[in-house]
Amino acid sequence: MNTNYWSVDKDVGNLNDYPQIAQAADLLSKNEVVAFPTETVYGLGGNAKSDEAVLKIFEAKGRPSDNPLIIHIGRVEHIKEFVTEIPEKARILMNEFWPGPLTIILNKKEGTLSDKATAGLSTVAVRMPDHPVALSIINNAGVPIAAPSANRSGKPSPTTAKHVFEDLNERIAGIVDGGPTGVGVESTVIDCTEEIPVILRPGGVTEEQIKKVIGEIHLDPSLIDEEHAPKSPGMKYTHYAPDAPLFLVEGSREYIQQLILEKQKEGKEVGVLTTEENESFYKADFIFTCGKRQDLDSVASSLYEALRSFNHSNVNIIFSEVFPYEGVGQAIMNRLLKAAGHRILSE
C-alpha cells in the first residue's frame, strides 16, 4: 500500500483550508486509516462506525481484536450520538478537561458504532483531543474516529510522525505530520459508568487533578496489584517495549552502575534510561535521557522517544531508573512497568 505523507503547520490560522487536511479527512470518510497527531501521541484513525475501517486499524497495528479503541470526537455535542446518558460527574470532567488528555467511559447506544471498535462491550471510551490538526481532521471527516496509538502493537507509542513512518509505512493510507506531540503519554482513562468513577489507566490528566473537581475516585485494582485482572480488556497486554529486555531498578545510582558492570563483564552491551541530572554518572554502552527528574512532565514528554532510541543501538539489556508515583509520575511508571513486563530489580 502506498502511504501518503502530508506535513501540516498546526499553528496556521485556518487548518480547514489546508488541502492536506481535506485529503486525510476524505480517506477517513472512505474507510481508510490515517495517522495524525494529538496532544498525547500520534493516533491511527479510522471511521468508528465502519467494521471495515476498524479491521484495517487492527490489521495495521497487529493489535488483538478484544482490545477496545478510544473514539475521538471533534465537538462535545457529537458524543450524544452514541452514548445513552452523560452522568453529572462525567459532565463536570468534560467541562474541565476537554479538549484534553482525558478519556471517559460511558454506556453506549446500541447500533451507533462498530461493535468491533468497542470490542463488543456495552460501553464506549470517548475523548476530545486538544490538538488543532486532530480536531480539524475529525470535523472534516464528519464521523467519530476510532484511534489507538499509531504504532505496531507492543512497541513504544509514537510521539513524532517519523516514529509512525518507521512502524506503519506501506501499512496505512496516510500520515499527517503535525510536529512532535506535547504530553507524550496517552490519555487518562476513567470509567464513569460507576457511581464512584474508576481510573483504568493513568495518563495526561492526573489523579490529583480529577479528585479536585469531582471528589472521590477509585483506582482499578490492576494498577495497584498486577495479580488483578484489568477491567478493560486492552490493559492486559504488554505495551511500549523496546526490542531489548528492560529492567526497572529500585535503588541508588551506585547499584545501577554495579548492575551495568556485571552485565558488561558477561560481554553484554548495556543501555541505561535516566534523566539529565544523572546522565554523566553512568558508564554504560548506551545512555538515553528522558527529561529532568525535577520536571516529570518533561520525562513523560520524552519517554517514548528514549525507549525507541534503544532500538537504534546494539544493546542486549536496558536498566531504567524509577520515578515517584505522584502526578504524571503515576502514568510514567505505568508505562515503564508494562514496557519491562513488570521486571523489577531492588537494591
Instruction: Look up cell 475501517; give the residue.
Output: 53
Residues of the chain with CATH 3.90.870.10: 4-234
Q: How far is CA 136 from CA 75, 97, 145, 274, in A?
A: 10, 19, 12, 37
| Alpha helix ranges (H) inside 30-145 | 51-61, 88-97, 132-141
How would CATH label the architecture of 246-346?
Answer: 3-Layer(aba) Sandwich (3.40)
CB 314 within 8 A of CB 269: yes
Residues of the chain with CATH 3.40.50.11030: 246-346
| pLDDT score for 13 | 74
Question: Tens-digit pLDDT profile for the chain (347 aa)?
Answer: 899 999 998 887 777 778 999 999 999 999 999 999 999 999 999 999 999 999 999 999 998 777 899 999 999 999 999 999 999 999 999 999 999 999 999 999 999 999 999 999 999 999 999 999 999 999 999 999 999 999 998 899 999 999 999 999 999 999 999 999 999 999 999 999 999 999 999 999 999 999 999 999 999 988 876 554 455 544 445 678 899 999 999 999 999 999 999 999 999 999 999 999 999 999 999 999 999 999 999 999 999 999 999 999 999 999 999 999 999 999 999 999 999 999 999 99
Preceding omega of 99 cis (within 30 degrees of 0): yes
| pLDDT score for 295 | 97
Q: List the one residue out of 339, 331, 322, 103 whose CA is nearest residue 232.
A: 103
How is residue 310 written as a grid cell?
Answer: 534503544
How is residue 149 written as a grid cell?
Answer: 496509538
| pLDDT score for 225 | 65
Q: How far is CA 282 from CA 115, 257, 270, in A?
A: 50, 6, 11
Q: Which CATH class is domain 4-234?
A: alpha beta
Rounded CA separation 328/347 (Å): 25
Q: Which residues contact 68 (CB under 8 A, 6 or more apart)?
A: 117, 118, 119, 121, 124, 125, 232, 233, 234
| pLDDT score for 238 | 60
How is residue 265 written as a grid cell?
Answer: 563483564
Q: Is the pTM of this model over 0.85?
A: yes
| pLDDT score for 212 | 97
